[in-house]
Amino acid sequence: MIESRRPYWLLSVVSVVGFFAIWHVITVAQLAPANLLPSMTQVWDAFVDVLHNGYRETTLWQNAAATLGRCLAGFGLAAVTGVPLGLWMGRSPALAASIDWIIQFMRPLPPLSYMVLLILWLGTGDTSKVALLFLAAFPTIAMAATAGVRGVNQQRIHAALACGASPQQVFRHVVLPSCLPTVMTGLRISLAVTFTTVVAAELMTASDGLGWMVFSASHFLRTDIVMLGILILGLLGMALSRALLSLDLWLVHWRGRE
């Protein structure tokens, strides 16, 4: 509550440096067994090794590409279908009434629970994973789009109609810009869900991907690669959410100025 101009980012830096210092001290003083807590240099060596030689015949790039590819395929499919359907549901109460109950049932279901079923139906390959990610992302996106359309100020629509706009023009120039902030929020939430889910799915059944790499390394007690994987996944998650946030700010530059 007390505002001041002290450089708080310095404290953040000190805090992160402190974390790594504690890690370093623990490993140097051998307070923890090396196979449980590898040193920073070991993790760095693992990084260089995985980058150049790969892990069990797959390079780091291949694994990262596999994870991101699945994630974006499932998310993209859900966005391409969920946004139009949600917009349509927002316009048509009858359609909303027909579909909403399915979405409401899907939403609280943890995605991994129906992964078992998808594997049974579609096999263990990428099809079942992309289907899983699609189903994980779809309800949030469709719901956000529906809510966005429903939340459009009716006076604006009436004003545009009174000025002689056609229904298409009203949709394109009034409804779409007004509901875009909500749609983008839905997309951001569901991308985070998709990223979490893809890693879980890769732990369950996969032969490449970052989740698989961490899973496989943990079996061989390669804690250095496990920690490396966690670091990469964390940074990747941050990058993904940042990327969509800046897309949001750039695309919906009118957010919050209504």
Interacting residues toward other proteins by CB under 8 A: 1-4, 6, 8-12, 14-16, 19, 36, 93-95, 97-102, 105, 108-117, 119-121, 192, 195-200, 203-204, 210-211, 214-215, 218, 221, 223, 226-227, 229-230, 233-234, 237-238, 240-241
CA distances from 17 to 3, 11, 21, 22, 257 (A): 25, 10, 6, 9, 39
Is 221 or 249 the residue whose CB approaches other proteins more closely?
221
Kindly state the smallest distance separating residue 139's Cβ from other proteins, in Å. Answer: 12
Q: How far is the CB of 5 from other proteins (least distance, A)?
A: 11
**From CA 197, how far away is CA 138, in angstroms rounded?**
13
Query: Min. distance of Cβ 177 from other proteins in angstroms?
Result: 26
CB closer to other proteins out of 151 and 159: 151
SS3 content of the chain, % helix, strand, coil (to 5): 80, 0, 20
User: Of 14 and 159, which has the nearer Cβ to other proteins?
Assistant: 14
Identity of the residue, 3 or 57, whose beta carbon is nearer to other proteins in the bound complex: 3
- Distances in whole angstroms, Cα of residue 73 to Cα of each of 36, 105, 133, 170, 231: 35, 23, 8, 32, 23
* Rounded CA separation 258/250 (Å): 16
Nearest distance in Å: CB 165, other proteins: 25
Tokens 């023009």: give the residue: 169
